[in-house]
Structure 1
């Protein structure tokens, strides 16, 4: 081979740089809002970014901190974020109010909702809640779905008073007596248990007859219609990363501190461990991780319609799609 001149080498380097810049410019940008602040439950999302899987799929994903499923559903619904994570029941309520939302992958096949209070409050169970103050951020998914739990147990949603608190103030507000109770997802149980020990009282909503689909990946409807390939690649990466992190939890949780300050690996590992249990059901283990069962969707819509004023009723078949779910990537069976 004839030796290249310096000019030729320089041109080659410049050309390579142009090609590299062109490849970078070809990345499809996706804004992705979380349901909550960064925690163990989001390990698979951050691991996909850390491992370069988004980039390999031609995606430039910006991850936005969340303030509750209601906020995430609203932002995705109006196109302020193209995709995100939100509780499915909350997303149905938002859809009925005009939010342009389609769920494209399920994460929590089981409801994560749990109620928490202290023994010193005098409350022993749900029947003792009336007249007490419960604190949550306005956009919290469980707060939004409270009317369903109340209705399923012959209570009025107005039997308790909701107090607005910051997302990270649940423990301090309960400890100070500013509120009598709160809600938390099951994968944050360790936070409450560590703070209150034997004084803590709680129950899972599933024990009281309410077990709808929980957190799911949602997309703005218009964005989905115009960018099906992009959404498909997002789901492909997220399905892959969630499955990988189920068996490699420590590795995935370990990257969180690169993205958020104040992360305690032990706590977030506990969070992720419970998340994996929430992901496992008869459909995710056989039809594909992230699969929505049409029968359950219909039941969830019936639940939401019964206890919420759906301003614009819709066909529940239009709130979700399984078209991007790879049936070869299944969840493993994990007992509760």
Structure 2
């Protein structure tokens, strides 16, 4: 009898365990690029089991650019993604069903880099030069806006397909004359090129659209509002935790992603904290998306690129899932 009860208890335990596993929602997060410091909060939260405890079975997928991640999320190929917000608006204008839930970069990270020894002193000298970046890179998608803002022709340069990890080598070998990259990688280029390095952040020429953000498939959001809300709040908590102390977060990242230099990732994180901070993220909520700024970003895309299928910008984002008790700690940002 005791053995029968033991077997029965084991069966019940297995059934409960199986039921719990079965009830977990499988979701995919497609990154904008290969994992670096700005993605470490996702890896950290997953390693801590925070998503799992909320019933989220998370897979993190390496990305191929904000254009690609926006379209993949918009088509339902991935539930969540990371994408440059202006690039996401371009995709939505093409019919992609994608909605922004949380800003990661409150300031644009888009930056052009060149070597002064190549005879380039600024963007006005870009015409007739080669710019290297991946084909789905946000800077390439938004290039017409940059070109118009600095007063050069959008067709005055040629683009060369360069992978994210090959940009510095391509610039050094003169395979290309200019590269695009995120400002969080700035220190690596300073170390490599020193005083010969020239650069301009898009903010410096008056273009400051929201940068990398957490986005979701619109239909998934409608059908699974609780999962989406849990995902956002866990992600907020993860970023706030990493802002407080990045060491555990980078430890997990370096264990999960090969080929990363720890010192470079530490430098990146310091730049990332700066880009996470605007007037709203320390006061409203970490990840806050301001309606007026989104309207400006929409107008930026509309003015410089045109919108294939115009839409009401307020349908392209929501802040209602954010935990307003979680705020960006601006005291942790080095100026």
TM-score by length of 2: 0.96
Aligned to 1:52: 49
SS in 1 for 2:142: helix
The alpha carbon displacement at 1:71 in A equals: 0.6
Check the 8 A contact 1:253/1:272 in 2, yes or no.
no
Aligned to 1:129: 126
Residues 1-40 of structure 1 mapped to structure 2, 5 A cutoff: 5-40=2-37
In structure 2, which of residues 247, 251, 255 is the aligned counterpart of residue 250 of structure 1?
247
In structure 1, which of residues 82, 91, 94 is the aligned counterpart of residue 91 of structure 2?
94
In structure 2, which of residues 228, 238, 242 is the aligned counterpart of residue 231 of structure 1?
228
SS in 2 for 1:25: helix
Aligned to 2:287: 290
SS in 2 for 1:218: strand
The alpha carbon displacement at 1:6 in A equals: 2.8
* Cα displacement string for residues 106-131 of structure 1 (whole angstroms, at most 9, x for unaligned residues): 11101111110112101011111111
In structure 2, which of residues 124, 147, 167 is the aligned counterpart of residue 170 of structure 1?
167
The alpha carbon displacement at 1:276 in A equals: 1.2
Aligned to 2:176: 179
The alpha carbon displacement at 1:335 in A equals: 5.2
SS in 1 for 2:155: helix
How far, CA to CA, are the matches of 1:50 and 1:265 in structure 2? 19
How far, CA to CA, are the matches of 1:64 and 1:109 in structure 2? 23
Residues 1-336 of structure 1 mapped to structure 2, 5 A cutoff: 5-333=2-330, 334=333, 336=335
Check the 8 A contact 1:289/1:331 in 2, yes or no.
yes
Structure 2, gaps ≥5 residues long: none
RMSD: 1.2
SS in 2 for 1:212: coil
The alpha carbon displacement at 1:155 in A equals: 1.9
The alpha carbon displacement at 1:204 in A equals: 1.2
How far, CA to CA, are the matches of 1:273 and 1:134 in structure 2? 27
How far, CA to CA, are the matches of 1:216 and 1:254 in structure 2? 23
How far, CA to CA, are the matches of 2:157 and 2:105 in structure 1? 27
SS in 2 for 1:158: coil
The alpha carbon displacement at 1:258 in A equals: 2.3
Moved more, 66-75 or 262-271: 262-271
Check the 8 A contact 1:43/1:272 in 2, yes or no.
no
Check the 8 A contact 1:70/1:141 in 2, yes or no.
yes
How far, CA to CA, are the matches of 1:131 and 1:181 in structure 2? 11
* Cα displacement string for residues 52-101 of structure 1 (whole angstroms, at most 9, x for unaligned residues): 10011110011100111011001001111111100000000011011111
The alpha carbon displacement at 1:14 in A equals: 2.7
Moved more, 119-128 or 257-266: 257-266
* Cα displacement string for residues 226-268 of structure 1 (whole angstroms, at most 9, x for unaligned residues): 1111111110110111111111111111101221111222211
The ranges of structure 1 where at least 4 consecutive aligned residues each deviate by more than 3 angstroms after the TM superposition are none
Check the 8 A contact 1:40/1:270 in 2, yes or no.
no
Q: How many residues align?
A: 333
How far, CA to CA, are the matches of 1:282 and 1:119 in structure 2? 34
How far, CA to CA, are the matches of 2:196 and 2:12 in structure 1? 67
SS in 1 for 2:165: coil
